[in-house]
Chains A and B, each alone.
Chain A
Amino acid sequence: MDFLVKKFSILSCLFISSFIFSEQWQISPSDSAQDDIQSAMILAQEGDTISLAAGIYNLNHGLSLDVDNITFKGEGHKRTILNFSEQKTGAQGLLVTSNNITLKDFAVENAKGDAIKSKGSKNIKFLNLRTEWTNGPDTKNGAYGLYPVESKDVLIDGCIAIGASDAGVYVGQSENIIVRNTEAYFNVAGIEIENSYYADVYDNVAENNTAGILVFDLPDLPKQGGKFVRVFNNNSSNNNTENFAPEGNIVGQVPKGTGLVIRANRHVEVFKNTFENNSTIGVALVAGDLESGDDSYDPYPRNIQIYDNYFKNSGYDPDFNRGELSPLLVEISNGFQPDIMWDGILPFWQNVFGQKKGERLVLDSNNDAKFLNLDLFWYFVMSFFHSPEFTGKKYFSDVKNLDPIAEW
Chain B
Amino acid sequence: MVKKLLLIVVVLSQLIFAVNDEAILSKKPEAKLSDYDFFKSPKEQIPNDNVHKYFLQTPLFSDYSLKDRFVYIPQEKKAVHSFDKVYDFPIGSALVKTFSYKMASDKNKVLLETRLLLLQETGWSAHTYVWDENQEDAFLKVSGKTIEGIKFLYDGQIKKVDYRVPNQNQCKECHLSDNKIMPIGPKSRNLNFEITQQNRSINQIDYWIEKGLVENHDPQKVVADWKNMEESLDDRARAYLDVNCGHCHMPGGSADTTGLYLSVNEKDVRKLGVNKPPVAAGRASGNLMYSIVPGKPEKSILLYRMKSEDPGIMMPESGRALAHSEGIRLIESWIKNYDK
Contacts and interface: CB of A to CB of B under 8 A. Distances in A.
Interface string A131-150: 00000000111111001011
Interface string A17-61: 000000000000000001100110111000000000000000011
A97 interface: yes
Contacts of A247: 285, 287-289
Interface of B: 11, 14-15, 20, 22-23, 26-28, 142-144, 146, 162, 164, 167-170, 172-173, 176, 179, 251, 254, 256-259, 270-271, 275-290, 301, 310-313, 317-318, 321
B311 A62 contact: yes
Contacts of A141: 283
A42 B142 contact: yes
A391 interface: no
Given A5-B22, A87-B311, A114 B259 contact: no
Given A113-B312, A173-B257, A165 B26 contact: no
A112 B179 CA distance: 26
A249 interface: yes
Given A112-B312, A222-B257, A248-B288, A42 B277 contact: no
Nearest to B271: A220
A90 B280 contact: no
A90 B168 CA distance: 14
Return the 7 tightest CB-CB contacts between A and B, nearest first: A143-B282, A248-B285, A112-B312, A64-B169, A113-B312, A38-B143, A91-B317
B22 A8 contact: yes
Given A42-B142, A87-B311, A221-B258, 19 more contacts: A5-B22, A15-B28, A39-B142, A42-B143, A97-B176, A113-B312, A119-B254, A142-B283, A144-B282, A149-B257, A150-B257, A165-B282, A165-B283, A166-B282, A221-B259, A247-B289, A248-B278, A248-B285, A249-B285
19 contacts: A38-B144, A42-B169, A61-B146, A61-B164, A62-B311, A91-B312, A97-B173, A112-B310, A113-B282, A120-B179, A142-B283, A166-B282, A220-B270, A221-B258, A246-B286, A248-B278, A248-B285, A248-B288, A293-B270
A142 B282 contact: yes
Contacts of A401: none
A16 interface: yes
A406 interface: no
A191 to B, nearest CB: 15
Contacts of B173: 64, 95, 97
Contacts of B164: 61, 89
A61 B312 contact: no
Contacts of B286: 246, 248
A382 interface: no
B26 A12 contact: yes
A218 interface: yes
A88 interface: yes
A211 interface: no
